[in-house]
Chain A
Amino acid sequence: MTTRLRFEGIRVGDQLPALVRTPTTEQLVRYAGAASDPARIHFDEAEARRRGFDGVIVHGLLKAAFLGELVTDWCGGSAWVKRFATQYRGVDYPGRPLVCRGAVTATRVEHGVPLVDLDLWVHNVEGATTTRGRATLAFHVDDRSLTARTTSEQEDR
């Protein structure tokens, strides 16, 4: 188990450990069921081809969910996701690896709450970035390390 993520240790430019996911058609069906999303281009090969795709395509929101996993795997219980936004720029097909990445763009404290802004993206094996995202993490204010940091430098030894 990794150590607890500490707000004061985070720097702009820090990269999140990449997450690789290779969704299967079965996973798309499971996601469609779990998310109550009945759009047919995600499980009906013929319908997807009729709509001009090479086959069934991965849900944008499943790629967003992978980015969500990337973020929560990184921050663990130290923070929660306050803002999360994704844009879908291209299609992906099941059976091909998707690489989910993120980087820190800002750290700040707002109303006493330490916040970390992230850029997120998914790229496929062809190198295309098919999903872009942004997230803001809110660190739990009862975090001891933060209390120590905000009192004074002297007390911090």
Chain B
Amino acid sequence: MTATTSPRVGDEIGPLEVRATTLEDLVRWAGAIDDYSPIHFDPAAARDRGLPGVVVNGPWKAALLSRLLTDWLGESGTVTGLRCEYRRPDVVGGTVRARGVVSAVTRDGAYECVACEVWIEDGAGERTVVGTATLRTRRPETGGAPPADGHGRAALIGDRLRDALRVGAEAGRFTYRVEAGDLARFVHAVGGRPPAETVGTHVPPEAPPTYYAVLDPVERRELQLEELLDELPFAKTGGGNAFNEVEYERPIRVGDVLTVVTTYEEPYERDGRAGRLLFRVRRNDVFDADGHLVARSRMGHVLAYDLDRVAGR
């Protein structure tokens, strides 16, 4: 919808397409809503239930419909209602496409109430979710397209890697609030017990020693400066976290509002069993709301390359 025109019956909304849903989408969802039904990540469990594979969470698809509508509305209105029926499973890896069409528009003073049919269709056009939504929009005055997101990065290493990592300078700054629920979820995850068995269990107000890693913007994919490494022409032969270390000035506690300042150190390489090893080390300085240092951590990650083999061969 452009902000300068009113919606009309028959107007199409979207589509908003996810060409291939991924397990990562589902695991992020599971973590966010604390739903660990294994049919959403475990192929064997899904097959035991007679499903053709790991299936996309219904509410995830509803959330995609919600985004379809909010994207369409932009700043000019709000979604006031959304109802969905889940008709068929979508298997992970498939295409899901959120679409809608305006079915009614009624005036309400300075606003318009818009009713829509919305649905999710799979790659073959089969509707797997059907629903209805109601929207409330302000009479438009000014237009404004969302900013295009298209920053390309070319492939090189050396100074380009240092520049990308902003070596020696502040690479990013993020603020996180330590909620009791976050801490409980972490403690339960490490303890390997489902929350149902630990209801009422005392969760200490002080975070466990490795909680600092949860506050790392790179692990969280909130700070991503390493895309150009994917463009190196050498075959990747391994990689993962190499080391993590922390020194606390005091324990992290529930209620802390912590600002994490990330700085990359000079990257280094050496030969290893898996090939040429490229280490990137980032330092996180963690400050509390009063600006006092709480912790300083170093996170080392390694990628291994076969310098004699071209990527993709």
Contact = CB atoms under 8 A, between A and B. Distances in A.
Given A35-B189, A60-B240, A82 B248 contact: yes
Interface in B175-211: 182, 185-186, 188-192, 206, 208-210
B241 interface: yes
Interface in A48-65: 51-52, 60-62, 64-65
A119 interface: no
A32 interface: yes
Given A38-B28, A80-B251, A85 B245 contact: yes
B244 interface: yes
Interface string A24-56: 111101111111111011011101000110000
A21 B188 CA distance: 13
A142 B17 CA distance: 60
A116 interface: no
A23 B192 CA distance: 7
Given A23-B192, A31-B190, A135-B209, A85 B32 contact: no
A99 interface: no
B24 interface: yes
B43 A31 contact: no
A29 B43 CA distance: 13
Interface in B126-173: none
A66 interface: yes
A37 B210 contact: no
Given A26-B38, A60-B240, A69-B191, A38 B210 contact: no
Interface string B14-38: 0000000011100110111010101
Contacts, number: 131
Given A29-B30, A33-B31, A84 B209 contact: yes
Contact of B244 (A31, A60, A80, A135): A60
Q: How large is the interface on B (under 10, 10 to 19, 20 to 34, 35 or more residues)?
A: 35 or more
Contacts of B220: 36-37
A87 B209 contact: no
B27 A38 contact: yes
Contacts of A34: 31, 182, 185-186, 188-190, 214
B228 interface: no
A64 B210 contact: yes
A83 interface: yes
B43 A45 contact: yes
Given A38-B221, A52-B237, A80 B188 contact: no
Interface residues of A, number: 45
A21 B43 CA distance: 24
Nearest to A62: B190
Interface string A1-37: 0000000000000000000010111110111111111
A45 B43 CA distance: 9
| A33, A51, A64, A69 interface centre (most CB from chain B within 10 Å) | A33
Contacts of B247: 82-83
Nearest to A25: B42
A33 B34 contact: yes
A87 B219 CA distance: 16
A36 B31 contact: yes
Contacts of B242: 87-88
B243 interface: yes
Contacts of B190: 31, 34, 62, 65-66, 68-69
